[in-house]
Amino acid sequence: MVSLLLLNSGTLMAANNQQVDTTSIPDSLMQVFQFEKAKEILYNLNRSAPGNSIVLYKLGQCHYNLGNYTDAAIYLNDSYKEDSTQSAVVIQLAVVNSKLGLYDKAVQGYQRLVQIDKENGYYHRLLANAYVTTKTPMEAIGHLLMAIELNDMDMEAYNMLAKLYFNAGDFEKAGEIAHTGLSKNARNTDLLFINARVAYLGKDYDKVLSLGDAALKVNADTSRWNLYLGYSSYFLKKYPECILWLNTAIQDKSINEQSYTYLANAYIKSDDPTKGLESLNKAIEIAKDNNLESNLQNKAILLHDADQDAEAIKLLEEAYHINKNPQVLFRLGQMHYNKKQYKTAKMYLESYQKSSDKLYMKEATELIGFLKKM
């Protein structure tokens, strides 16, 4: 990719403050991605007139765009030594240092940039981004606030700042920053998304749907919205909408085990147990967390409703061994009772009674009472 920092010939000054004449040929070649050819001409210029800041800078650019970051750093450092006041050189060198993993040096470069022009909000944002990379968020926040103060239309600064607050767990502040940014540009989808994430955590699901609708009018790409819109629709009992969004998540491969669980429940609540069972099978297939137990239970219930009690009991036994959840014992007791396997049913129900769980205690006691009368 051509660097955005490509300068026209004659815009940099040599160390002796003489305007440099490099001709326009290397620039023209670089504009059409002919970096190798431009590099050869610049080599010749450097040999004929060493210490030329602009030539060294452009040699660094050529190497950068060719992926030769180590060589790029050499020429850019030489250019900086000749003239340390040129922001384009400072920025390009900081970018190269980041590519080389020299993040502290990159930070130093952006600090120098701010020294060159403290009133440039963009420079403060670049420094903030470097601080994010070095995991020093408080410094980043300070420079982002300065960037916004200098340019209150810098949407990227609002976005970065809101994300930093969100990741730090200060959701209220993240929402405030996103709201302020949206007051400047209501069509900024990044800020709409951050606001939606804050609303979701606050269980304001109607607001999530509203923000999603606003964002999708600007950009039809739903990939990062599917799960939030699907879950919010589920909690609002809008099951057809939930099914739509979560199926879209399947298509763009953003769905996970939890998503399949919600999708299964949405199908079940929409009286489509067949599709519900399919989704539960998917959830169980990719199970990586505690949802596995509940999904096995849900699948067992669906199989029981379909008169497949033998398979349902096997799944419940498997579910019990995951977390030793006493509620599974109650379900096993129920199913064995329905299959008229009373001795086994009594064993499971009494085991449940001895547990600390109270959710089904009344029902378990009633069933045991019936069994004792037989």
Per-residue pLDDT of the chain (374 residues; tens, 9 = 90+): 334 444 444 444 444 444 444 547 899 999 999 999 999 999 999 999 899 999 999 999 999 999 999 999 999 999 999 999 999 999 999 999 999 999 999 999 999 999 999 999 999 999 999 999 999 999 999 999 999 999 999 999 999 999 999 999 999 999 999 999 999 999 999 999 999 999 999 999 999 999 999 999 999 999 999 999 999 999 999 999 999 999 999 998 888 888 998 999 999 999 999 999 999 998 888 876 667 888 898 899 888 888 899 999 999 999 999 999 999 999 999 999 989 999 999 999 999 999 999 999 999 999 999 998 88
Residues 141 and 60 in one domain: no
User: Do residues 276 and 268 touch, judged by C-beta distance below 8 A?
Assistant: yes
pLDDT given at position 24: 79
Domain ranges, residue 190: 117-219
Q: Among all chains, which residue has been given the structure tokens 């030769």?
A: 68
Mean model confidence pLDDT for the chain: 91
User: Do residues 41 and 26 touch, judged by C-beta distance below 8 A?
Assistant: yes
User: Do residues 211 and 192 touch, judged by C-beta distance below 8 A?
Assistant: yes
End residue of a domain, out of 219, 250, 267: 219
CATH number, domain containing residue 147: 1.25.40.10
Residues 35 and 126 in one domain: no
Is residue 234 included in any domain, yes or no?
A: no
**pTM across the whole model:** 0.76
Residues 91 and 149 in one domain: no
Residues 270, 197: Cα–Cα separation, whole Å: 27
User: Do residues 257 and 286 touch, judged by C-beta distance below 8 A?
Assistant: yes
- Residues in CB range of 282: below 8 A, 6 or more apart: 260
Residues 206, 299: Cα–Cα separation, whole Å: 30
Is residue 344 included in any domain, yes or no?
A: yes
Is residue 129 included in any domain, yes or no?
A: yes
- Angle 226-235/189-201 helices, nearest 10 degrees? 40
Cα Rg of the chain (Å, integer): 32
Handedness of CA 132, 135, 141, 142 (dihedral sign): negative
* Intra-chain end-to-end CA distance of the chain, in Å: 82
Is residue 42 included in any domain, yes or no?
A: yes
Domains held by the chain: number: 3
76 phi/psi in degrees, rounded to 5: -70, -40
